Structure 1
Amino acid sequence: MIYQKGSNLFNVAIYIRLSREDGDKEESDSVGNQRKLLTEYVNKHDDFILYDVYIDDGFTGTNFNRPDFHRMIADIEDNKVNCVVVKDLSRFGRDYIDTGRYLERIFPELNVRFISVTDNIDSMKQAYDMLLPIKNIFNEQYARDISNKVQATVKSKQKAGEFIGAFTSYGYKKSPANKNKLVIDEYASEVVKRVFTMYAQGIGKQSIAKILNAEGILCPSEYKKLNGENYKNCNRLEKTSYWTYSTIKVMLQNEIYIGNMVQGKKHQRMRSKQRLVEKENWIRVENTHEPIIDRQLWDKVQKLLTKKHRDIDLETNKNIFAGFIKCGDCGRAMMKNFWRRADGSKSYSFYCGTYKRSGKDYCTPHTLPFQVLNDIVLGDLKQIIRNVENLQELVKSQSFTATKIRKSTDIELIKLKAELERVKKLKKSIYEDYKDELISKEEFLSYREDYQQKETLYSKQIETLEEKKKESVTEDVFETPWLRRLLELKDIEELDRDIIVEMIDQITVYENHKLKISYNFGNELEHLFSSVYCEDLEKKAI
C-alpha cells in the first residue's frame, strides 16, 4: 500500500535491531520482546497501519550497514512508509552523526514521522528537537565505550594466541570444542602440503595454480562455500573462482602453516574504514596450533621466494600505463611481459592478467606490444591537439570570448573536482595492483608519488578557477587549465608517466589491437567543440 500525502493515516515501519557486540544482553532487548512491545504500541493507535517489520539481528549500531535498514529506507523512498517506530533510540543507531543525519535532516525532508517508544520521543511533538541530540550523544558515548572494550578483549585474545576471525586459513578449521582454536582440515591440508612441495621442487606459482585448476581442485574460496561458509573474497573479481598466482603466493608466505598465529594486521576505529597496520606491530604468537608444514620445508620455500625476487631497473622497465590499461572482456588489469631481442635490447608486451595467471580457459591473451600501444595513444593525442589548434584559429578569427561559452569553465571546475577524487581513488587502488604483483614495489612507490603530485596540481587549478569566478574575470576560452595544457603539448613526441596520469582516464584493450581510450577532458572537449561550431553556424546563417 502506498500512502497518500496529506492523509491522516501513517503507514508504519517497525524497526528492530539486536547486537550482542553492542552489549545487548538484556532479555528485554530480545527480538521477540521488541516486536511484542512495538506491535502493541502500533495497534493502540487508530491512525497507524502496520506496513512491515524490519529486523537486523546481529548487526552493530555504530554504523548503518544493515540489510533490513536499507530495505526500510528503500520502502520510505518508494512512499510505502511514512512513520518509523523503534523501542529506543539506540535500536536505530548509536552513532551521533549518522543517526542525527537521518532523524534531523533526511526523515523531515521525506515527511517521515519518527517515534522512539521508551524514550518518549515523537518527531511530531514540540520537545523532539531539544531531546534528540542529547539522547544521541549518550548513545554514541555508550557505543564508543563498548567498541573500546570489544577491541581490548580481541587484542587480549590475540596476544594469548587465540584465533579471532570469521574464516580460517585454507587447511585449517575451527575446533568444535573451542572456536578460538585451530585444528587441521585433513583434505585441505594435503593440498597445502602439495603446494609447498611443488614449489620446493622448482615449479612456479603460476604453474602450480594451473595444475590445481586442471585437476579440478576447488580454490580456497569455493572450498569454504562448499562447506557451508558464507565466504566472499573482496580482493578478487566475483567470477574469479579458481586458483591464481596470488593465492599460491599468499599461501607460501603464511606462517600459520608452521603453527604460528599472526593477527592484528588491520585496525578499524568506530565509523572508519579498516586500515593496514605496520608489519612490526602485528601480533605474532608461535606454536599455537599443529603445523601443516615442517620447518625444513618452510625454510627452503622462503629461501626460494627470496632468491627469485629480482630488482627492476625503473629507468628502462617502468610501465607508464600501470593502473590505466585493462582487458575489455574480463575487466582485469593487463600485465607486462619482457623479452630480450637478439641485439640484447629489451622489449615488452601487455597480456590480459586473467590469461597470464590462469590460462586460456578463463580469457584470451589480448596481446598488445608496448610500442603499438604507445604509438596509438601518442597518435590519438596528437590528433586531438591538432583539432584544438584548429579550433583556436576559428575562435580568434571570430573574436570569440569566454563569456560566450562560460559554461565550459563551470564544467571544467566540476570535472577538476571529479578528477581530484579519481586521483585519490587511483592512489588507493594502485596498492591492489602491487598486491597482485602487476607492478613492483618500486613502481608502486613511484606511481603513488605521481598521484600525490597530481592531487596538488588539481587542487591548485581548482583554487585558481574558483578565485577567477569570484573576481568575475573574463578570460580567453583557451586559458582553462586543460586546454592550456593540451596546447603546451603541441610538439609532443614521447609519452611519459606524468602525461598518462594527467590526460588518460582509462584504456580498454580488445583483441586484434583494438583500443578504447577515455580521456580526462573528453566531455569538456566535446562541449567546447559543440559550443564553438554552433556559434560559427549561427554567424554564417545571419
Structure 2
Amino acid sequence: MKRVQESEKLLRVAVYIRVSSDEQAERGDSIRDQKERGIKYIEEHKNMILQDVYLDDGVSGQKLDRDDFTRLINHVKEGLVDLIIFTKLDRWFRSLRHYLNTQTILEKYNAAWTAIDQPFFDTSTPYGRAFVAQSMTWAELEAQNGGLRVADVFRTKVTHGEVITGKVPRGYEIIDKHLVLSEEAPAIRDTILYFLKHQSMNGAVQYLKETYGIVMTLQNFKQSVLRNEKITGHYRENEAYCPRMISDEAFLDIQRILDQKSNIKSSQKYPYIFTGLLVCDECGHKMGGCQINAVSKRKDGTVLRYKYPAYECKQHRSYRKCSNRGKIREVRIEEYLLKNVGKQFDSFIADFETKSRDAVDNRMKKNQLRRKISRLKDLYLNEAISLEEYKNDRAGLEAQLEQLPDITPPVGNPGTLISMQNTGFESMYLHLDNQQKRLFWRSVIKEIRLKRCSGSHREYTIIFL
C-alpha cells in the first residue's frame, strides 16, 4: 500500500488512539495529544475526512483483543475506512504476529495506514514491508523486556516483604507497604479453626456472620482466606513475607479438605432435571439441587436409607436472607408439571392469540444508541467524564445495542407447545432419561417460580419461552 498522496479521491480516515499507562501521558503521548494531532493531520489534507475516533485506554500493544480496535477492524471489513492514522507504530502494535495478521485484513479490504510521526514507513514495496516487520520485531522485544523488568521489580518487592497489589486477604491490612494483621484477624483465625473442626464452609461463613458480624460469600471465604497461602506468612519464595495466622500443617489440612470436597462435587453423577429453571419467588434467586435423606425400618429390623433429589433456596440455607425454607423433592415438581402443564399450555396459547402479532422495527432506536455511544466518547475525550464513567456507561449502552434485534418478531410462538400437545407428550416423557427430561423442559419453559405457602405446600408459576 502506498503512502496516501493528495488526490481527488476523498479518503475516509480513522484516527486510532492507544494509551497503556500514565507513563505515556507524561511523555507527551496522551489521549488528547494523539487525538488533536490526528485531526490536525486530516485537516491539513484536503482529500481526507474524519470517519471516527477509535480509543483504547489502558490496553497493551501486545494484545489483539481491544474494544475499539475490534470495532475499527469491523468497519474496515464493512468498507467504511480507507485510511487509518496513528502517531507512532507502537500505538498500532507491539506484536509482529498480530501486525502481520491485521495487515492481511487491511490489504484484503484496500485500507491503508500511516504513522504520522514516522512517515518513512512504506508498505507498498518489499523493502518497505521488510523494514516495518523489522521495526515491529524490535517493538515486540522492547515490550517483552518491559514485562521482564516489571517481573524483576515484583520479585524484589516480595523478597523485602512489600506488597505488589492493593488486594489483601481478610484479616490483613497494608501499613508502610507491608502486610500486617488487622483488627479482624482474631475473628478470621477463629473461623478458620471452626472450618477445620466442622469441615463446612456454609457453617463457617454463618459462624463468622453470627459471632463477629463479618459477612463473606462462600467463594470469597474459600479463595481469599482458605486457599490463600499468605495466612501461613509465606508468599512465593519468601518464607517470612507477612505475620502468620495459622500453621503450615493446618493450611495443608485445609487444602486436603477442600480438594476432597471438590472431588466429591465434580464426581457427582446425578443430573438434576430442573437445574437453572427453578426460581425462589420470595427472593428471586435460583434454587439449587440438594438431597433429602430418609430412613425406614422393616419388620425384620433392617434399616433402609434413602436419598431423594430435591431443591432448596440457597439464600436461605447459606445466608438466612430468605424466608423460603425447606426442601422440595424433584418428583413432586415433576408430578405437578405433568398434571397441570396441559392447562398451562392452553392458557399460554390463548393469551398469545390475543396479543398483537405486528413486528417492531428497532433500527431507529439502535441508531440512537450508537449516537449516544459516540457522544459519550466525545465527553471522555474532552475530559468531561472519567474513564470509569465512560467504560461503565459505554458497556451499558453496548449491552442494550447487542440485545436489541433490528426487527422484533411477533410475541412468542406456541408452535412447539401445540405440536407437543398433539403428540401426547406425557407418554413420551416417561421414556426419557434425566438429561433428556432436562432438555425437554428447557425447550418450552423459561423458569418455574416456587412460592412457599402453608406447611409444605408450594405455589407454582410457570413462565414459558
TM range (shorter): 0.5 to 0.7
What are the equivalent positions in structure 2 for 1:495-514 lying under 5 Å apart? 495-496=432-433, 499=436, 508-511=447-450, 512-514=459-461
- Structure 2 distance, partners of 1:107, 1:208, is 60
Structure 2 counterparts to residues 367-386 of structure 1, below 5 A: 367-373=327-333
Partner secondary structure for residue 296 of structure 2: coil
Unaligned runs of 5+ in 1: 1-6, 220-242, 262-283, 382-485, 519-542
Which residue among 203, 206, 221 is the counterpart of 1:248?
221
Alpha-carbon distance between aligned partners in 1 of 2:47 and 2:449, rounded to the nearest angstrom? 61
Aligned residues: 354
Which of these residues, 293, 299, 321, is aligned with residue 272 of structure 2?
A: 321
2:161 matched to 1:209? no
What pairs up with 1:226-237 in 2 under 5 angstroms?
none
Q: 1:265-304 maps to which residues of 2 (within 5 A)?
A: 284-285=236-237, 287-295=239-247, 298=250, 302=254
Counterpart of 1:338 in structure 2 is 292
2:117 is the counterpart of 1:143: no
Map of 1:59 onto structure 2: 59
| Contact 2:313-2:324 within 8 A present in 1 as well | yes
- Alpha carbons of 1:13 and 1:204: their partners in 2 closer, same or farther (altered >3 Å)? same
Once the two structures are aligned, what percentage of the paired residues are identical? 15
Deviation at 1:350, TM superposition (A): 1.3
1:245 maps to amino acid: L
Q: Which amino acid aligns with 1:350?
A: Y
- 1:9-20 aligned at under 5 Å gives the runs 9=10, 12-19=13-20
CA contact (8 A) 2:172 2:179 kept: yes
**Structure 1 Cα separation of the partners of residues 327 and 149 of structure 2:** 52
Q: 1:46 aligns to what SS in structure 2?
A: coil
Between the aligned partners of 1:373 and 1:491, the Cα distance in structure 2 is 18
Following the alignment from structure 1 to structure 2, what is the Cα–Cα distance between the partners of residues 314 and 126?
54
Q: 1:256 to 1:342 in 2, by over 3 A?
A: same
Instruction: Please give the residue correspondences for 1:126-141 in structure 2 after superposition, counting only pairs within 5 Å.
Output: 127=124, 131=128, 135=132, 139=136
| TM-score normalised over the length of structure 2 | 0.54
What does residue 522 of structure 1 align with? Answer: none
How far does residue 296 in structure 1 lie from its aligned partner after superposition? 8.7
Q: Secondary structure at the match of 2:205?
A: helix
Which range is displaced more, 336-345 or 297-306?
A: 297-306
The Cα shift of 1:199 comes to 3.7
Structure 2 spans left out of the alignment, 5+ residues: 1-7, 298-304, 342-422, 451-458
- Structure 2 residue identity aligned to 1:116: A
Name the structure 2 match of 1:351: 312
Tell me the equivalent position of 1:85.
85
Is contact 1:115-1:121 (8 Å) kept?
A: no
- Are 1:199 and 1:301, in contact at CA under 8 Å, matched by a contact in 2? no
Distance, in Å, in 1 between the alignment partners of 2:99 and 2:155 is: 32
Helix, strand or coil at the partner of 1:372: helix
**Equivalent residue number for residue 151 of structure 2:** 154
Match of 1:186 among 179, 182, 187: 182
Task: Compute the displacement of 1:349 (Å).
Answer: 0.8
Q: Aligned partners of 2:295, 2:158: CA distance in 1, in Å?
A: 53
Counterpart secondary structure, 1:345: strand
State the AA in 2 paired with 1:325: G
Normalised by the size of structure 1, how large is the TM-score?
Answer: 0.48
Q: Deviations over 1:436-483 (max 9, x none)?
A: xxxxxxxxxxxxxxxxxxxxxxxxxxxxxxxxxxxxxxxxxxxxxxxx
Q: Residue 19 of structure 1: CA displacement?
A: 3.4
Name the Cα RMSD after superposition.
Answer: 5.7
Aligned residue identity for 2:271: I
Residue 60 (structure 1) shift: 0.3
Write the letter of the residue equivalent to 1:336: C
C-alpha contact 2:54 2:68 (8 A) present in aligned 1: yes
Cα distance change on mapping 1:300 and 1:138 into 2, 3 Å: closer
Separation in structure 2 between the aligned mates of residue 218 and residue 75 of structure 1, nearest angstrom: 50
2: CA distance between counterparts of 1:310 and 1:103? 46
Q: Which residue is equivalent to 2:381?
A: none
User: Which amino acid letter does the alignment assign opposite residue 320 of structure 1?
Assistant: P
